[in-house]
Structure 1
């Protein structure tokens, strides 16, 4: 059995982006329940040299649907503008990513196999084949940022577990 590039990326991007959106809902409810200013979570970071929660959420969207757009365009330039500063803005960013991922055609990504994707960073550029970009750069970054979102919320006291991170699982009958 073979697996397509679509199946290796898009369904998981959708699953985890949806789970992160659910984590935002829980985070907002936690703030209301505890009387916390939402900025206490939105601006939280695990270490002084790490980006804050809002940045992590935005980069889940950027390394999910944004990665697909990068493959389509042949390039990726990180969006370093400030992320949304409230739950509604973060939720909208994830909803846009989910809508975009839902438009990706099953065979579309396989058509990009072997095509170059260049990442432009402040200290240079890296060029990958589309499949190597998605599987060795975008997907690991996507999981790093999604995990960091989860970790910040756990650290701040939210009662969440692995099931919250995993989101809606896919089964043979789906």
Structure 2
């Protein structure tokens, strides 16, 4: 019973780390990746569709992305979605492809993005701690109901604390990597 609770908590903590990793991928650094377009939705035949499902991305230079829509009729919609997004780029359309040149990040903008990354990391840590709290409550309930002994409960809490520390450390490591990416010129 306690093992099931621990397993469920670890799965949820793993998901929290995955969400943090995705959030960090959406924060742009000096070099552009297609992941920065992850939250851009295109109105494609009336349905909001992620741009990654409608186009391929080519990165010829660190700050330039060439977007090639699979369906040429969606070129205007993709361009409009990229322009209206919060990426801060003005895409240019030559009839078959869309070029997006990202401006160089200023020092102030880099520091702002580091703050955003720290906020995302803290959200992930809080999520992991909440998962820990819920799992600890469940373990306490199991012990209180007599379904497991106190020794098992203490062992379960110790394992839960170790898992919590391990996942928080993963988030901290992801943050450290992202900060170094952001602050390197």
Provide TM-score, normalisation by structure 2.
0.32
Higher RCO by CA contacts (8 Å cutoff, separation 6 or greater): 1
Larger Rg: 2
Q: Which has the higher strand share?
A: 2
